[in-house]
Amino acid sequence: MKPPKRPQRKRKNSGVERALNEIVAALTVLTTQGVKIMAKLDDFLTAQAAYNAEIGAAIDGIVADVAELNRIISELGDGTTEEQEAKMDELTAAGAALVARVKAADELTPPATPPAA
């Protein structure tokens, strides 16, 4: 024969238990939000790294262009004709335009380390 069931006592700590359950629920929400935020951050970091690589490749191309412009200018020599002077002016303007483009690209790229708040 089974022993008789004991009557269940009313829990005195039901308020504490309820508070702990609310804390656990809040921590679950915060953890879920943290995971979502970290995933978005990882996506951003991946995209930013690709963007930085693209900018780096563009800058490398500009550096090569400037080297070529400097080579052409050095080949013109000291005794220049009007045509050569015009070509040097054109190359100088092209170099200035390249510098302006690099500066504009630099402005689009966030700093490597965000400034302290």
85 is a domain residue:
yes
- What mean pLDDT value characterizes the chain? 81
Show the domain range for 102: 19-108
Residue 67 lies in a domain: yes
Residue 12 lies in a domain: no
Does residue 5 lie in a domain region?
no
End-to-end, the C-alpha distance of the chain in Å comes to 73
Q: Is residue 40 part of a domain?
A: yes
One-character DSSP codes across the chain:
-PPPPPPPPPPTTHHHHHHHHHHHHHHHHHHHHHHHHHHHHHHHHHHHHHHHHHHHHHHHHHHHHHHHHHHHHHHT-SS--HHHHHHHHHHHHHHHHHHHHHHHHHHHSPPSSPPP-
**pTM metric for this prediction:** 0.47
How many separate domains does the chain show? 1
Q: Is residue 116 part of a domain?
A: no
Domain contains 62:
yes
Confidence of residue 111 (pLDDT cuts 50, 70, 90): low
Amino acid at the residue 34: G
In a domain, 56, yes or no: yes
- Per residue in 41-78, pLDDT tens? 998 888 888 888 888 888 888 888 888 877 877 777 66
* 108 pLDDT tier (thresholds 50, 70, 90): confident
Q: Between 100 and 110, whose confidence is greater? A: 100
